[in-house]
Amino acid sequence: MNPSLMGYEAAVLGGLDAEARRSVAGELAALEAAVSSEPALRAALTDTSIAPGPRRAVVTDLLDGKLSAPAVRIAAYAAYSSPAQDVPASITEGALRARAVAEGTVADEPPLSVLASRRRVGGYAAAVFEDEPVETLDGVEDDLFHWARAIETSAPLRNALTNRDVPPAERAKLVSALLAGRANPVTLRLAIYAVEGGRPRDLLGTLEWLVDAVAEERGWRVARVTAAREIDEATRIRLADTLRTLVGRPVELEVALAPELLGGVLVEVGDVRVDATARGRLEAFREHLTSDHGAHRTFDTTNATQGAT
């Protein structure tokens, strides 16, 4: 079972009408059959040498134009969120769930452990984030934080939202009634699914976990690019596509100019830093020369040459 995919698919299918859901279910069933019957496709999907981000990009490129956009999203996320060897099984899970949703046989989300439930909510959040420009996430962290504190400090509200005997749909209606029109629409979607996809007794923990997830998402969604000169639109698009493959999610560029870099760009996305500037290359070359010089001096010593072949 892939909890992250469960949440992601819930978000994608939740935005479709009944006819589109049936179409996606049929497409994923056809993809599942192809993966089972075509060894070359199965080998490509289970190649352990390909990292999750690039694997997602490969699946997206492979299926683009062959399946609808929602079906491609689900299949690509199945490839991204699973270990390579489990990708075919995740695609099967996605196809089965899509069929159940299309047929109306999915009611409440099945119970999972605390960590698995949070992963499910995280998958839902990932799909929501993909649909939203980064600026729409402003205030979501604060909204979720204050909502968690409101639940924590109100015994009646806490009891109503964490009561396992109350159906998730009823608890979701309460969340909607209290937050609709008062919080960011993204906050509302996440808060509702925290009730539907999380564990009732872990609601506060799930909301606090989502606060951190939004903060991380906002940081990862913004690529801070420092360039020696203006970047044209075509280069921006290529750079954004490359970074999406690198970090496994869409990014938006914030470009600042720094002529002292001489040429190229310096890119920072979260804790990933890529220095492709002329100045950076010169400094790296200088360090290379320095280290080579030191290495040659060491190699020439008696100790370093003993036992050399």
Cα–Cα distance between 217 and 61 in angstroms, integer? Answer: 24
Q: In a 3-state reduction of DSSP, which class is residue 222?
A: strand
CA distance 279 to 296: 26
Q: Residue 272 in contact with residue 247, Cβ under 8 Å?
A: yes
* Domain extents in the chain: 3-103, 221-298
d(CA 58, CA 47): 11
Tell me how crowded residue 77 is: count the other CB atoms within 10 A of its CB.
Answer: 27
Give, for all 309 residues of the chain, the pLDDT tens digit: 899 999 999 999 999 999 999 999 999 999 999 999 999 999 989 999 998 988 998 999 999 999 999 999 999 999 999 999 999 999 999 999 999 999 999 878 999 999 999 999 999 999 998 888 777 888 898 899 999 999 999 999 999 999 999 999 999 999 999 999 999 999 999 999 999 999 999 999 999 999 888 877 776 667 788 888 888 898 888 888 888 777 766 677 888 888 887 777 888 876 677 777 755 555 654 565 555 544 444 334 334 334 433
Distance CA 50, CA 37 (A): 22
Q: Are 117 and 7 in contact (CB under 8 A)?
A: no
The answer to whether residues 109 and 10 touch, using CB atoms and an 8 Å cutoff, is yes
pLDDT of residue 267: 84
Tokens read off for 287 = 């360090």
Q: What pLDDT was estimated at residue 226?
A: 87
**Position 244: which residue type?**
R
Q: Is 250 exposed, middle or buried (0-12, 13-18, 19+ CB in 10 A)?
A: middle
Q: What is the pLDDT of residue 284?
A: 58
**Residue ranges of the alpha helices (H) in 2-107?**
3-14, 18-37, 39-45, 52-63, 69-81, 87-103
The single-letter DSSP state of residue 127 is H
CA distance 101 to 142: 33
Structure tokens at 7: 């949440």
Query: Which helix (H) or strand (E) is 243 found in, with range?
Result: helix 233-247
Half-sphere exposure of 189 (CA within 13 A, CB side): 24
pLDDT at 282 (0 to 100): 54
At residue 74, what is the residue type? Answer: I
8 A C-beta contact, residue 249 and residue 267: no
The pLDDT of residue 225 = 87
Q: Are the beta carbons of 53 and 247 closer than 8 angstroms? A: yes
